[in-house]
Structures are given as C-alpha cells and as structure tokens.
C-alpha cells in the first residue's frame, strides 16, 4: 500500500495517508476534502552511525523550502 502526501487547501496542513487504492477519498483532519496530492520524495533508511561519506549525497534539507542540500540557494 503506497503512502501519499497531501496538502489541505483550506487549513494549509501537510499530511500523509496510507491508502489501499489510489482512488480512495482523502480528507484532512479539519474535515476538508479539497486536498492536493503532492510528490512524495523517497527517503532511504541509513543505519545508525553511518554518516555521509564522500558519496555525493546531498547535505541536510533547507529549513525554508525543505530541498535537500540547500539546492534552492536559500540555505
């Protein structure tokens, strides 16, 4: 079952839902059904203590826009 990310067009909340079918109705906790499905970004699991090595992995996400490695230029 895929996990989808959504944004509520009413209250502005971002949330995830685990759906059995992609055509299921989705609503925010505020009750609004006008939500936008967002692109979900893959996040690999890294073992504890295994820091980034010189592998070309991007740096931490920007606090403003959440893009990895500060690629937005705001970091």
Domain residue limits, the chain:
3-38
DSSP 8-state secondary structure symbol assigned to residue 44: -
**pLDDT of res. 31:** 92
Residue 31 has which token pair? 């009750």
Cα–Cα nearest to 37, from 24, 54, 55, 48? 24
pTM of the model: 0.50
**pLDDT of res. 21:** 77
**Residuewise pLDDT in 10s, the chain (75 residues):** 677 899 999 999 999 988 887 677 899 999 999 999 887 766 666 666 555 555 556 666 666 666 655 555 554
**pLDDT of res. 75:** 46
Phi, then psi, of 38 in degrees rounded to 5: -110, 160
Number of other residues whose CB lies within 10 A of the CB of residue 27? 14
Place of tokens 């937005």: 72
Cβ–Cβ < 8 Å for 26, 15: no
């Amino acid at each position: 079952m895929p996990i989808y990310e959504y944004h509520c067009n009413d209250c502005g909340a971002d949330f995830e839902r685990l759906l059995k079918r992609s055509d299921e109705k989705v609503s925010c906790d505020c009750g609004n059904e006008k939500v936008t499905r967002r692109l979900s970004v893959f996040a690999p699991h890294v073992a504890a203590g295994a820091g980034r090595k010189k592998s070309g992995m991007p740096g931490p996400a920007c606090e403003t826009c959440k893009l990895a490695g500060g690629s937005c230029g705001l970091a």
